[in-house]
Structure 1
């Protein structure tokens, strides 16, 4: 089933992975029609599920994002039944993505139902005292950006940005651009 739950307090990583999933599922020329985002709430919940059953327009698939799914207690049994019918009849081209700041409460009917169908990914901030994980995150960012940096630079970057993933990627991109600029200047002279 093409259903996903992204949860955690690292907003930047969640945002990056939403964009990655959108680019994977939805054709770039049809994003206006086939990508929808709703804030979680009783009224938006029904609208999102109705749109989820709508076939995609043009090429590619459809992605419906239901963000900030923190207050699941507001979902009554009729909406849970509507969700179950929707998930059972969900076309392979259509994808549902739910996001939450915190882990979903496993005691709720909603969570039990959605967990049967969804792929769950956690995106939590690394504790600032865990220097090994912070340096590993810097190395991952450098690898992702094809940026080679020394171990000393990795430790300095990890110490300066801490667990702020957005700042880490911004600084890494700045380093990469500086290197490109220096390379071009060397080639010119």
Structure 2
């Protein structure tokens, strides 16, 4: 089956005792594994009921021991084994024997690139479990994937912006996802992502997007920030637009630094993006970057920088 069919079966609650995830599209494998884990593993008991191992490091007998362990405070254990195609013939046959009568309270995931379909292990996965194929998406599938990914965040993307994003970034889903995360944050609170937004975030080449500039500022890396700023200006980025982004960056760091107690990632998200009931995972990841960045500055530095930026804004507007 393909990735989308796997998701439909997962949504319907049809969980097989074993899956073989085959193919070269690692990003979708990670997504599928994440969704399966969220479905069957209670977060508070992940340490007890989830285990990821590699066939390069452990024999099949250890995997069988793991999947034979009863789950704690939940219906399933989830055991993931990478590189199952690298096992010896003996280990593959050992696991194939297990698959003839798999433990119902465990879900076993085998990860592989290409796998010889004549192997007994492959055939047992096919007979008593499910094989899910993950191969690079076609162009039209990538377009659909990008649209769905953006709609998941409550936004839409203009067709022109969508084509430009794909042409600019390519077909690598990891890279596309990273740019989408940046676009979601950059365009907040607007609902539509436009081509000019993609141009500003993705830039014309590596290292010249506005997010690269903001990252250099957070890292207090002047040597990296100045060339990026120069490239943005040469590309025609409006100075006032760049300035407003820098002001937002410094103001956010200042508000974080002003707090005398430790802030949670959710509280930092509220400072950066405004209060809301839910923040996507990549928002909280970015919040942790801000927490670490604030430690690089003293409070007096940030106050002085912010005051200088306010004065500069007045100068820019008055010419």
Name structure 1 gaps, 5 residues minimum: none
Change over 3 Å in CA distance of 1:105–1:158 after alignment to 2: same
Alpha carbons 1:38, 1:67 under 8 Å: kept: yes
1:120 and 2:131 are equivalent in the alignment: yes
Alpha carbons 1:3, 1:95 under 8 Å: kept: yes
- TM-score between the two structures when normalised by the length of structure 1: 0.82
Change over 3 Å in CA distance of 1:79–1:121 after alignment to 2: closer
| Aligned match for 1:174, one of 167, 176, 182 | 182
Which has the higher relative contact order, 1 or 2, with Cα contacts under 8 A spaced 6 or more apart?
A: 1
Change over 3 Å in CA distance of 1:144–1:68 after alignment to 2: farther
| Aligned match for 2:106, one of 94, 112, 129 | 94
Report the alpha carbon displacement of residue 33 of structure 1 after superposing the two structures with TM. 0.9
RMSD of aligned alpha carbons: 2.4
Distance of 1:146 and 1:181 partners within structure 2: 10
Name whichever structure is richer in helix by fraction. 2
Aligned to 1:156: 164
Name whichever structure is richer in strand by fraction. 1
Aligned to 1:132: 140
Change over 3 Å in CA distance of 1:79–1:100 after alignment to 2: closer
Aligned to 1:75: 89
Alpha carbons 1:35, 1:63 under 8 Å: kept: yes
| Aligned match for 2:41, one of 6, 9, 26 | 26
Report the alpha carbon displacement of residue 60 of structure 1 after superposing the two structures with TM. 4.0
Aligned to 2:226: none
Q: Any idea what SS the aligned residue of 1:88 has?
A: coil
Aligned length: 178
Change over 3 Å in CA distance of 1:137–1:89 after alignment to 2: closer
- TM-score between the two structures when normalised by the length of structure 2: 0.51
Q: Any idea what SS the aligned residue of 1:122 has?
A: strand
Q: Any idea what SS the aligned residue of 1:136 has?
A: helix
Q: Which has the larger radius of gyration?
A: 2
